Structure 1
């Protein structure tokens, strides 16, 4: 007997209709008889429960709109089912636990018609019970690779995320798609925290975002830790996983303890994601997570729509004048945004004064801003046509994961502290695939400030002396490498970065991949590069590389 004909469902249905006073929650019309439907916000097939928060009353017309995408044609279902059978046949044991019907339901629920080619294999590996590490460029859709498996899981999953702004941005985006998610951090009140933890215990959420420090023993968070440990997740998801290697030894040591916390949570499957990790960083990520047998996927990290420029410029006033010129020209040609990265709040305030003198209205985003101020700036950046946040100075508190599609120009006032940081931060540009520009400004002794900051950070860390020596040496080596790349202007900047970040081979056999892509993925378009970098420009032009930057901006908004 179908579940919906059973007495217990009939009782629940009548209770919900009574609660909603026999009115459609969408159009407010009176409903009765066969026109009175009760809808699961999160479908039962995806683990949705028969509880008040997940059920609403709808008329039949409004209910049909909720399920329109589920009524796919028989040919599509047949194609998907057949493709998975063939993939299993040619893919061996890798795909035995993979279920095409449930994947199709999850994609339709999230409004995704077809996957990108780089998304399918990590999702299949996760659904097949494998630990996964995915290295894929910014803007390539990494988040969907853990959202889909999490949606299909019976229990919740935990996402370890490094920044409050990133947590809020991703949760808001998920809620817009009716995906039950939340975050736990110090920005929320005690009362709100209690409510979120209560719903976590009831199994309401699919994704819980938190920083690794939330796992650390604490008297203040004793009840929170008990709830987290008493409700083991299906997946432990590490977003921006390069932070394990970058911060785990000194700056944020809880990143180095994630393998221990994984064990305390019952050894859930690990899904780790980042845009930047060379071979050594990958090994450290997997070692720290006790996931040495994970399937590793490394996509092409080359962002062909972002032109890269290294400009040596010692005079700060001239720097500000150039930024103002490029920003105005870009805004004349598009509704895009400009981000200016700085290493410290003090320097950011100085840059803001310089740009204000150039009559550029500029916001400053940094980690010490009040939550409401951070939210207003990010909302302004999401505004397609607004000017209130079209130019934003930011520290690396804004560097990772923020999904602003139309950032056209990213400028580093000062080169960052590693190649990985630079790839993360200039990757904020051009997430919509349109022509964009990334500039790193250089001058003599750029590395002094960064090395001083590294020394202070390591000194204040709670690790023993030998570990401090190792951590400081590692930090200074990273600073030296990006300094060399930023000043080696006779070499292709793109090539230097790609050689450093490396690549790896894909694990699913080719024929099985073909069948799965046929069923679920779009055909990958070949991207064309219209501009490369200042190094390549210099080989063909004798004029200043600032003209290269101007040329890129002048082509924005045009059909290339």
Structure 2
């Protein structure tokens, strides 16, 4: 079903026609009756040939923002995507849904590239996925220029910004390449993680007006965030996986060595686990990724080399075994849980010594001093997140510039029912020490002074003469630095930027020091069953999952490509008994009904009887 682009943007009647056409595609092809917030606004702009930046959380439906226009426009939509796995994932899902799509990347031969470009030229393909590096090739750009390209979608658009957490130099050439195309395509840039600065940078580089940004906010209402501090991480992890058996999840670690160690540990405990990192062969990585996507081994242990753009919708938990380098990376990786909208968890297992790994990565990077200073600043923010006592979702939203939100009511801090205890006196001791040290030192030296350490640095700087020297000698250095981190995270202390930040007292801290305010802190968290796990283990749902797995193996696609967990749960709730009733289930369009409806209906009808 193709609607000529010329009918759009001419007036209200034409706009109404465009909206009706978009809704028709949404229902027939994707099985949804209405758009999610922001989707219709983005689609309207595209159909009016207006460059647009869409900032939506992971799982917010960004891909539909360009896939629906691709089916409405007469020409081709080129999707610039950073990873081969992402392209294959989305192309497989589109083709399974009866939508003609293909990709061009280094995994196929030159002959195959020419064949796929010829398909595009003949109008047999609506969406063409390409890697940004491919656009550096002048010959390939000439081949693209010969195609009727109406829309260029730039996925993971934060990669274009030096200020983004995953900058890719190959993205910088995009604006020039698009401008050179004789078809003058519209540009849609999409990202889930963009601070205000990154969003502005994207708009400048891709000629998107400031009025062209559609930001639906960063909140993931189905995602529960949790920070687990200063506990034996292996013990917590093993207990959590026992409680949440039969759930798919990703466990992130910072190094290949830690990935291998955790994988061996979980395999020894008979968990269905696989692994992914850059030290493996491409064949091994591909096999392990496929085992994870097909739910043969639903637990993936990986470095951050894994996951960008993976569309596996039924990931119920993402656990970070070691702290990421910045909050953008963390939020993007955590957002791989619950893409289907069902309740899911993002857990950070935090130990201060893990920060040393991140310091090493920054020190060994090839960036200049300014780059390293920015990275140290981002790491400080990550450390504050791990130590804050406020709502974790609020902390994240504020970082991305979204203020005024209420506490989420579902993160580990909001649900923490441990009692508060008054730590005002200890806080005053720390704050007094910081004042007396004139903001010249960082938390380690402050903790050493408070603990009464006897070392040369303290003696040389006359710090052993301070009235606060040794006044908290009953606590260990680990306890003291942890308490200083808590005071910093909650805004009583402010760190400077750079590799070796010093601490200064804030106005909030001054109020405590003067006795005008109190400081309260909560007393180790225990593993719990995820919200999703508690609600999906009914017999009918398991029957539908088993059928989905059989069909997926037969079709050679991941199970979530057939139907998402959310669609299966809605089948259990609605209990459709006819083909017409099946179409009322979210995620079931006409193509999916024709392809898979009959065997699912048999199970549902038998259950109803």
**Of 471, 490, 493, which aligns to 2:392?**
493
Q: Does 1:233 align with 2:149?
A: yes
The aligned runs of 1:293-304 (5 Å cut-off) are 293=210, 295-304=212-221
Which residue of structure 1 aligns with residue 343 of structure 2?
435
- Paired residues in the alignment total 433
1:250 positional shift? 9.0
Q: Which has the larger radius of gyration?
A: 2
Are the equivalent residues in 1 in contact too, given 2:59–2:339 (CA < 8 A)?
Answer: yes
Which residue of structure 2 aligns with residue 278 of structure 1?
195
**Of 324, 329, 347, which aligns to 2:243?**
329
1:554 positional shift? 7.4
- After TM superposition, the score normalised by the length of structure 1 is 0.69
**Of 77, 81, 93, which aligns to 1:161?**
81
State the Cα deviation string for residues 181-232 of structure 1 (Å, max 9, x = none). Answer: 1111112233322322222333322111122111114xxxx54332123326
1:458 positional shift? 3.0
The secondary structure found in structure 1 opposite 2:526 is helix
Which residue of structure 1 aligns with residue 256 of structure 2?
345
Task: Give distance in 1, aligned partners of 2:152 and 2:532.
Answer: 42
- After TM superposition, the score normalised by the length of structure 2 is 0.64
1:141 positional shift? 1.2
Unpaired runs of 5+ residues, structure 2, are 422-521, 539-609
Which residue of structure 1 aligns with residue 328 of structure 2?
420
1:499 positional shift? 0.8
Which residue of structure 2 aligns with residue 88 of structure 1?
12
Task: Give distance in 2, aligned partners of 1:323 and 1:548.
Answer: 8
1:474 positional shift? 2.6
The secondary structure found in structure 2 opposite 1:547 is coil
Are the equivalent residues in 2 in contact too, given 1:309–1:440 (CA < 8 A)?
Answer: yes
Which residue of structure 2 aligns with residue 145 of structure 1?
65
Which residue of structure 2 aligns with residue 116 of structure 1?
35
Which residue of structure 1 aligns with residue 114 of structure 2?
194
1:545 positional shift? 4.8
Which residue of structure 1 aligns with residue 355 of structure 2?
447
State the Cα deviation string for residues 298-326 of structure 1 (Å, max 9, x = none). Answer: 11322232221111236xxx322321221
Which residue of structure 2 aligns with residue 258 of structure 1?
174
Q: Does 1:532 align with 2:411?
A: yes
Shift in alpha-carbon separation, 1:190–1:536, aligned structure 2, 3 A: same
Shift in alpha-carbon separation, 1:189–1:359, aligned structure 2, 3 A: same
Are the equivalent residues in 2 in contact too, given 1:248–1:256 (CA < 8 A)?
Answer: no
The secondary structure found in structure 2 opposite 1:99 is helix
The secondary structure found in structure 1 opposite 2:63 is helix
1:166 positional shift? 1.1
The secondary structure found in structure 2 opposite 1:323 is helix
1:457 positional shift? 4.1
Are the equivalent residues in 2 in contact too, given 1:250–1:471 (CA < 8 A)?
Answer: no
Higher relative CO (CA 8 A, sep ≥ 6), structure 1 or 2?
A: 1
Over the residues paired in the alignment, what is the CA RMSD in angstroms? 3.4
1:144 positional shift? 0.6
Are the equivalent residues in 2 in contact too, given 1:419–1:482 (CA < 8 A)?
Answer: yes
The secondary structure found in structure 1 opposite 2:259 is helix
Q: Which stretch of the first structure deviates more once superposed, 103-112 or 293-302?
A: 103-112
Which residue of structure 2 aligns with residue 203 of structure 1?
123
1:431 positional shift? 2.2
Are the equivalent residues in 2 in contact too, given 1:324–1:360 (CA < 8 A)?
Answer: no
